[in-house]
Amino acid sequence: MSDNKSNKIVHIHLGEKNYRTVMHAGRHELISDEPVNSGGEDLGPDPYDYLLMSLGSCSVITMKMYADRKKWVIDELFIEMLHYKIEVEGDGGKSEKRDVIEKEVIVKGDLTEDQVERLIEISKKCPVHKTLMNSIEILTRPGKKE
């Protein structure tokens, strides 16, 4: 791993249970699993659920921070998301799958339509949204055996 101590490190462990995955982020422990129809035991959200939750929580936090700076009163924020894949024509006319995330934003508070639209635009500026929309480099290598 990088020697940069300001980076967060998340630990993932898949043990004896088929697809049950235990994930640690600092002092927080989460479980991920696959649905029963995919061979899991449905003991926790699947990885795409966590991806959507990450995007959604980052979006509402970013919108709330912006509203706080503007002194806009927000009672509640809700985001509902759906992930699916569609077939698109790729290079050379070959069919390939593309991921699509639909995001519906509900803002409760004394805001104008323009303010709500601005918050929706701000939601697209959250760090997770920016990461997903940019090219990502994932460096994968073997770790040390214990």
Of the chain, the percentage scoring pLDDT greater than 70 comes to 95
CA within 13 Å, CB half, 58: 16
- Is the pLDDT reported for residue 17 higher than 70? yes
Instruction: Report the alpha-carbon distance of residue 58 to residue 65 in Å, rounded.
Output: 11
Three-state SS string over 7-23 comes to: CCCEEEEECCCCCCEEE
Residue type, 100: V
Is 52 strand, coil or helix?
A: helix
140 DSSP 8-state letter? -
Tens digits of per-residue pLDDT, 52-108?
999 999 999 999 999 999 999 999 999 999 999 999 988 888 899 999 999 999 999
Residue type, 12: I
Sign of CA dihedral 21, 24, 27, 30: negative
CB 77 within 8 A of CB 63: yes
**What pLDDT is stored for residue 55 in this prediction?**
97
Q: Which residues contact 89 (CB under 8 A, 6 or more apart)?
A: 95, 96
* Count of Cβ atoms closer than 10 Å to residue 103 Cβ: 17
Structurally, what CATH architecture does the domain formed by 46-133 represent? 2-Layer Sandwich (3.30)
The region of weakest confidence among 9-18, 57-66, 125-134 is 9-18
Determine if the pTM surpasses 0.85: yes
Determine what percent of the chain falls in helix, strand and coil, rounding each to the nearest 5: 35, 30, 35
